Amino acid sequence: MARGNRRLTRGARYRRYTGGPDPLAPPVDISEALDAIGEDVMAGYSPERAMREFLRRGGEGRAGLDDLARRVAERRRELTSRHNLDGTLQEAKKLLDRAVLEERKQLARDVDLDEGVRALSEMQLDSLPGSIAAAVSELNDYRWQSSLARQDFEAIKDLLGREVLDQRFAGMKRALENATDEDRAAVKEMVDDLGELLAAHRRGEDTSQQFDDFMAKHGDFFPEDPQTIDELIDALAQRSAAAQRMLNSMSPEQRQELEALAQQAFGSPELMESLGRLDGELQALRPGEDWTGSNSMDGDVGLGLGDGTGVFQDLADLDELTEQLSQSYAGSSMDDLDPDKLARQLGEDAVADARALQQLEQALRDSGTMKRAPDGQLRLTPKAMRRLGKTLLRDVADRMSGRTGNRDLSRAGTAGEFSGATREWVFGDTEPWDVTRTVTNAITRTAAAGGATGEGVRIELGDVEIQETEARTQACVALLVDTSFSMALEGRWVPMKRTALALHTLITSRFRGDDLLLVGFGRHAAAMEIEQLVGLDAMYDKGTNLHHALMLANRHFRRQPRAQPVLLVVTDGEPTSHLEPDGDVYFSYPPEPLTVARTVRELDSSMRLGAQTTFFRLGDDPALARFVEAMAKRVDGAVVAPELDDLGAAVVDSYLGSRWPGGRFDARTATYGDVFGDRGFWTG
């Protein structure tokens, strides 16, 4: 048995898995992509564009589309800078020169040759035209004295025949090397039959049986093994169009010389006539192929007609890959990438990089972090917003820790601290159980009923007691963020969004009883959902309508008279517009007294509603500094002038201070658990 196992082991073979994505590959990690996409969305990109930009850049240790596109461009430069297009002409000229030289040698050493024949032959050789095609045509009737010279001359016709066929049928140049007249006749018959098949297809008169009969007779000429006539036409048309682009890329002199020389192919002008008809049928059947393009080739390596056509097919593949990698056309996706073309041009490593990006894009779409809106655009889902908010809140926590020297502690705690008392659970309670009292109640009840406690204890609802907490103040929070032109101009747009999202995440995750209103104010103000604010493009309308924003905040406060109002204002400019009684917006710069007066009146209303107010002043404008200091002093509020990187931490710090037990939050003594929950909120 063991011997048999050893034989099986020796016979095992391992090779690359080709059945699709690697089944043993680790799952795609989208965390880095989501963080980067979220940052770009806050900077004003649409989620669709943000995802495209990440796929272009790639991630840590992962090539992106730009890297693949760069490699495609390098491959294209290599092909065009290395080759030139006169390979067939140069090879034909080499054979012609060698044939003429051998003939001259034979004429010189053949002493028995008739002097008249010698003189006529030398005269014909001396008067050969400079054109290779014309020289070959003139020598068609020449009586060669040298057998070696005759072989070289016939090799020119054989070379031309194999080259013009290799242009249309890849591999024909090598397949017809040392071919017999019978082989050439078979090729001529195949070309004629193919022309008839394509003509019938263009007229709509062909049948599947006709195609099957053609392939049964001539299938050896088509290693691609097309299964339908359309597959056959596609392969032939791509090759024929590449051949035409090669001709288009030659100089007029080169093109004229080759076209004339090609008439000598196999010494049979009828072959070129058949190939010409074939090209016409293919162009009529596939007009969408590129039949008019061209490329400059100025390298040192000459290309024959067949090899040159292959290079032009490679260039077409590279151009198509460039478009696919650009992902710039409507409806583009990573699934558009052609792995076969990528493997041919760049190798299997490039295919692996592309598949990794395809899997990442699919994972982003399938993870529930993006969804297609009714307008067809991608949108970040609430799940993605929560994830991004947690990331930002983690940054805020790190900054608060860095400012106070605190470290991450895993002590549980919230704004409502445990009082030490317990009470019976009632429906709707969310406080934690007192496990000891609950189990004791169950044991006591079981014993009083005469039951045996040694067989286990059954807990009923009446046994449950919960731990009471101190009364927790509910806050009604209004975060007013400046969305005026200067915020975008001075690079404050993204920090403002990061701040709003971090505060929103903290409140919705740890202080769910609080009610947050987000208001953006530029020339006018508007209440916004967090998704709307995060995706908001930079506003380039001038105007700072704090008056309108305060009106919306006060309306929010009045709706919840029992909650503690908290007013947080982030701005980088004095109020320059206000709302008129008829709803129109009035704008003036510098600010007019009427605008300031109406703004102050709304701020006084906030004070009468009991709002705890903090202004966050961005920038060093002295006029703004004087204004916010006066406003804060009027309502017994506070002014904070944070650096942009510290804005989120400053706003969260102020919010926590306004609703912490006792009315103050001391970041020097509070733990992360107090603020963000047990086991570190940001790791959720």
pLDDT tens for 422-437 read 878 776 566 778 888 8
> Does residue 179 sit in helix, strand or coil?
coil
Number of H helices, E strands in the chain: 27, 14
Please state, as a whole number, how many other Cβ atoms lie within 10 Å of the Cβ of residue 389: 25
- Grouping H, G, I as helix, E, B as strand and the rest as coil, residue 480 is strand
Rounded CA-CA distance 355/18 in Å is: 12
Q: What is the pLDDT of residue 679?
A: 34
| Residue 400, amino acid | M
pLDDT of residue 543: 86
- Cα atoms found within 13 Å of the Cα of residue 281, Cβ hemisphere only: 24
Complete DSSP assignment for 347-364? -HHHHHHHHHHHHHHHHH
Q: What's the burial of 398, exposed, middle or buried (CB within 10 Å: 0-12/13-18/19+)?
A: middle
End-to-end CA distance of the chain: 53
Q: What is the pLDDT of residue 10?
A: 47
- Specify the pLDDT at position 608: 93
pTM of the model: 0.60
Q: Find out whether 475 and 563 touch, Cβ atoms under 8 Å.
A: yes
pLDDT at 214: 92
Computed over its alpha carbons, how large is the radius of gyration of the chain? 41
Every domain of the chain and the residues it spans: 28-83+319-380, 86-296, 418-469, 475-683
Strand 418-424 vs strand 465-469: parallel, antiparallel, or unpaired? antiparallel
Predicted confidence at residue 183, as pLDDT, reads 84
By the 8 A CB rule, do 72 and 566 touch? no
pLDDT one-digit tens code per residue, 470-503: 545 688 999 999 988 888 777 787 788 878 888 8
Q: What is the 3-state secondary structure (H, E, C) of 562-600?
A: CCEEEEEEEECCCCCEEECCCCCEEECCCCCHHHHHHHH
Say what the pLDDT of residue 95 is.
93
Tell me how far apart the alpha carbons of residues 558 and 535 are, in angstroms, rounded to a whole number: 29
Residue ranges in the chain modelled with pLDDT below 50: 1-10, 403-415, 471, 661-684
DSSP H stretches of helix in 250-369: 252-262, 269-285, 305-326, 339-346, 348-366
- Phi, psi for residue 22 in degrees, rounded to 5: -60, 115
- Read off φ and ψ for residue 616, nearest 5 degrees: -110, 105
Half-sphere exposure of 682 (CA within 13 A, CB side): 16
Measured between alpha carbons, how far is 178 from 282 in angstroms, rounded to an integer?
A: 29
pLDDT score at 4: 43
Predicted confidence (pLDDT) per residue in 47-71, tens digit:
777 777 888 888 777 788 889 989 9
pLDDT at position 411: 31
In CATH, the number for domain 475-683 is 3.40.50.410
